[in-house]
Homo-oligomer: A and B are copies of this chain.
Amino acid sequence: MIIQKLYDEVRLKGNVCVGLDTALEYLPESFHSRYEGTEEKLFRFNRRIIDATCDVSACYKLQIAYYEAYGLEGLRAYSRTLKYLKEKSLLSIADVKRGDISKTAEMYAKAHFDGDFEADFITLNPYMGFESMDPYLPYVKNGEKGIFVLLRTSNPGAKDIEYLESNGKKIYYHVGDHLADLGNHMLSSCGYSNVCAVVGGTHTDEATEIRERYPNMFFLIPGYGAQGATGSDVRLYLSRGNGGVVNSSRGILTAYRKVENGEYDFDALARKAVIDMREDIGYGKEL
């Protein structure tokens, strides 16, 4: 089961998921003069970040929007980064938030679980209903791939749909209860399944409630750092300490900007940012 691998990585390396949301403007000046072309710049930067952080982070999340924005060149860098992670036996989450049905969703599954853009996990959007997850289940059930479905995000707009209440429960619980039904039939020995959820880290009031309602669901937790969630906020979602990974992107990729002349050590400073972050979340402590 792929979730078992991710769980083992978390136990070994901590809860940090490095977000490779790599925009050209995040790259050090020196990088722009050293490499030619968007593809090469993005990929080389990602490779340096990966090499510097792979023993202290559990997995890597690629936000595909950043690569799509650079067109075909960007997507070549995206593909090369995923292949590089695979070569190094590191786990990848493709943050694609696709949401569609029937044949279209089958095509998305083929796109992101196979071929040039193959990743270990992908994120999904549930708006069109639960059947939108079905085409991914063959990959999920055979254990090779996993999904993180948007459950409850912590952006202000989440109140517009996700937090609305219907039939006595919030929309996000409608989604979560379905995911729990799916996942609880295929638990790995670590206690989680390949059916996982995205849960924003900045609202602490609901954290305990969500964690208790879904004890066997593994979470991807965005919102740390720049978006306001602290180590103690996100810890609330980490049942048994291993029930999720916490994503940070800009805080890691551009850590060098906080240090004078830091750009020449950008990878070492990214590594330090990951180590600081995992300590802040509680690495090595009893949670």
- Residues of A with Cβ closer than 8 Å to B? 21, 23, 63, 65-66, 68-72, 74-76, 79, 97-105, 107-108, 110-112, 115-117, 125-132, 150, 153, 155-162, 164-167, 171, 174-175, 178
CB–CB B171/A164 < 8 A: yes
Expressed in whole angstroms, the minimum distance between the Cβ of A217 and any Cβ of chain B is 18
Chain B residues within 8 Å of A132, by CB = 157
**Which chain B residue lies CB-closest to A131?**
B157
CB–CB B66/A129 < 8 A: no
CB–CB B128/A153 < 8 A: yes
Chain B residues within 8 Å of A156, by CB = 129, 131
Expressed in whole angstroms, the minimum distance between the Cβ of A165 and any Cβ of chain B is 6
Expressed in whole angstroms, the minimum distance between the Cβ of A113 and any Cβ of chain B is 10
Chain B residues within 8 Å of A102, by CB = 155
Copies of this chain held together in the complex: 2
State in angstroms the CA–CA spacing of A112 and B129 once bound together.
25
Chain B residues within 8 Å of A115, by CB = 69-71
State in angstroms the CA–CA spacing of A132 and B162 once bound together.
13
Ordered nearest first, which 8 A-B pairs have the shortest CB separation? A129-B157, A71-B116, A131-B157, A68-B111, A129-B160, A164-B166, A65-B107, A69-B107
CB–CB B178/A171 < 8 A: no
**Contact of A166 with B160 at beta-carbon distance under 8 Å, contacts A68-B117, A71-B79, A127-B150 already known:** no
Contacts A/B (CB < 8 Å), 12 sampled: A21-B103, A63-B104, A68-B112, A69-B115, A71-B115, A71-B116, A97-B125, A101-B153, A125-B128, A127-B150, A129-B155, A161-B171
Our pick among B65, B110, B125, B155 for the contact of A111 (Cβ within 8 Å) is B65
Our pick among B97, B108, B164, B167 for the contact of A68 (Cβ within 8 Å) is B108
